Structure 1
Amino acid sequence: MLIIDGSYHEGGGQIIRTAVAFSALTGKAVRIENIRAGRQNPGIQAQHLAAVNAVAKLCNARVKGASMGSLALEFSPNPIQGGSFSIDIGTAGSIPLVFQAIVLPALHARENVIFEITGGTSVLWSPTINYFQDIFCYFLKKMGVDINVGLASYGFYPKGGGIVKAIITPCANLKPLNLTKRGSLDKINFLSVASESLKGAKVAERQIEGAKNILKEYHGKTEISYCNTPSPGSFIYLDANYENCKLGASAIGELYKPAEKVGEEAANRLDKQMESDACLDEWMADQIVPYLALSGGSVKVEEITPHVETNIWVVERFLGKIFEVDKAKKIIRVNKS
């Protein structure tokens, strides 16, 4: 059984998600110890538990230690199956982060995989579901992946209640991803969403106003939407469309934070990415690592973050030394002979 230190480097939930995904993929049993040991709330939390249970359903795994607050987890997989599954995180735990664990093993299933997940779609410390749909899936489709993600409803902190359904078609042989030149900028799209209860305060419109005060050119599509949600909330999502790639940024509304500031926060993040010459933003950089390990290729990223380094470390625990990282040029490379 492979032993992985869950407190290594960045020491977050990503270690759990990547480890169980590669355990299912390789058939190697894994034990993760010291899970999130350095965090304020150490151990497994609801979103991590949902990810483990989701991957376990895919491969009928034997699991020990899958409980709230657990500091150790054992995951012993069987062959990956297909089929339809549902997961209720039970809180506003991040739906996109649960999908991070599911998609990779689902590509190696015997038939299509359909997952419906209930939880948080737009929460702090996580990609929004719109980023997952528009950026993550965009890059996977470049690698030959057929993934369809449908949003039924949004869910904000603390009650969640958002519902997302994904259909993933098996694709065992990924196309290499080579992206080191992003080409010219075409347009920037704006999406601002808020709960119906915030419509009177024009929260969604004000988020857009804040973003456009920063990003004054290349305006593409602007969407404003209000929706019924169990808990009130808001977010803004922006994407910059280039000739060869996309960059994305989000910001989440918070109590006592002016809506204009939420828009400015997302716009400043995107502006920072655009000032670099990266083809993958800092969030996509660590998310692409497991797929690049299997496909091969070379990508220029915004930053080699601790998340990127940690994810590479976990993958190489299963596959051996395969990554080349040029920190100066911010290029991640996997050569497939």
Structure 2
Amino acid sequence: MITIDGSSGEGGGQVLRTSVAMSAVTGREFRIENIRAKRKNPGIMPQHLNAISSTAKLCNAETKGLRIGSMELEFYPKKVKGRKLNLNIGTAGSITLVLQALMIPSIFADGDVKVTITGGTDVRWSPPIDYLRFVTLPILKKFGYSAKIQLIKRGYYPAGGGKVKAVIE
């Protein structure tokens, strides 16, 4: 099992999102310790919980330590499968950062991945939804990546309430 120090470098949520995405793609299990340890509110937050749990559903992974505030997580992935996911971050947590965790493993699914997410579409410290729609996706399309993101409703801090539908083929 790979062990990752979640406090290294910037020590934010990106190490979580990248770790679960790469684990889902490679099938390699991992353990991450000291999750966001240097942050004011360390551990797994609602946005991270949604990114991890949705990626876990995508690859039928087993997890240990997947809860708000957890400082450690173990992730045991299986095969990535196409499916429909409905996610509610429950806060203004970033929809784009949750999608970031799902986008790479979704291209390895055995069918389409359809995701509906409620949360924040345009929030601090995250790419806005329009950046994903009008910058990231057109660039990825040049590499053969096929996805559509439909903005249903914008959501801002502190309430969130934004809604996005995505289809990754």
Shift of 1:71: 0.5
Residue-by-residue CA offset, 1:180-234 (whole Å, 9 max, x unaligned): xxxxxxxxxxxxxxxxxxxxxxxxxxxxxxxxxxxxxxxxxxxxxxxxxxxxxxx
Structure with larger RCO (C-alpha < 8 A, sep 6+)? 2
Are 1:135 and 2:135 an aligned pair?
yes
**Aligned AA (2:22):** F
Scaled by the length of structure 1, what TM-score is found?
Answer: 0.50
DSSP 3-state at the match of 1:31: strand
Shift of 1:166: 0.5
**Separation of aligned partners in 2, 1:93 and 1:45:** 9
Q: Any gaps of 5 or more consecutive residues in structure 1?
A: 170-337
Shift of 1:139: 1.4
DSSP 3-state at the match of 2:117: strand
Q: In the TM superposition, what are the counterparts of 1:17-28 in structure 2 within 5 Å?
A: 17-28=17-28
Shift of 1:145: 0.6
Shift of 1:136: 1.2
Q: Which residue does the alignment assign to 2:83?
A: 83
Shift of 1:8: 1.0
Residue-by-residue CA offset, 1:33-66 (whole Å, 9 max, x unaligned): 0001111111111111110011011011101111
Q: In the TM superposition, what are the counterparts of 1:224-243 in structure 2 within 5 Å?
A: none
**Separation of aligned partners in 1, 2:83 and 2:97:** 20
DSSP 3-state at the match of 1:108: coil
**Separation of aligned partners in 2, 1:83 and 1:36:** 30
Residue-by-residue CA offset, 1:46-90 (whole Å, 9 max, x unaligned): 111110011011011101111111100111011000011111000
Q: Which residue does the alignment assign to 1:122?
A: 122
Shift of 1:135: 1.1
Q: Which residue does the alignment assign to 2:104?
A: 104
Q: Which residue does the alignment assign to 1:55?
A: 55
Shift of 1:10: 1.1
DSSP 3-state at the match of 1:115: strand
Residue-by-residue CA offset, 1:76-107 (whole Å, 9 max, x unaligned): 01100001111100000000000000000000
**Aligned AA (2:35):** I
**Aligned AA (2:101):** A
Q: Which residue does the alignment assign to 1:152?
A: 152
**Aligned AA (1:138):** P
**Separation of aligned partners in 2, 1:128 and 1:134:** 10
DSSP 3-state at the match of 1:3: strand
| Identical counterparts, % of pairs | 53
DSSP 3-state at the match of 1:70: coil
Ranges of 4+ aligned residues in structure 1 off by more than 4 Å: none
**Separation of aligned partners in 2, 1:167 and 1:82:** 10
Q: Which has the larger radius of gyration?
A: 1
DSSP 3-state at the match of 2:134: helix
Q: In the TM superposition, what are the counterparts of 1:320-335 in structure 2 within 5 Å?
A: none
**Separation of aligned partners in 1, 2:92 and 2:64:** 24
Q: Which residue does the alignment assign to 1:168?
A: 168
**Aligned AA (1:63):** T
Shift of 1:138: 1.6
Q: Any gaps of 5 or more consecutive residues in structure 2?
A: none
Q: What count of residue pairs does the alignment treat as equivalent?
A: 169
**Aligned AA (2:143):** M
Shift of 1:27: 0.4
Q: Which residue does the alignment assign to 2:44?
A: 44
**Aligned AA (2:13):** G
Backbone CA RMSD of aligned residues:
0.6
**Aligned AA (2:25):** L
**Separation of aligned partners in 2, 1:132 and 1:69:** 28
DSSP 3-state at the match of 1:124: coil
**Separation of aligned partners in 2, 1:47 and 1:83:** 20
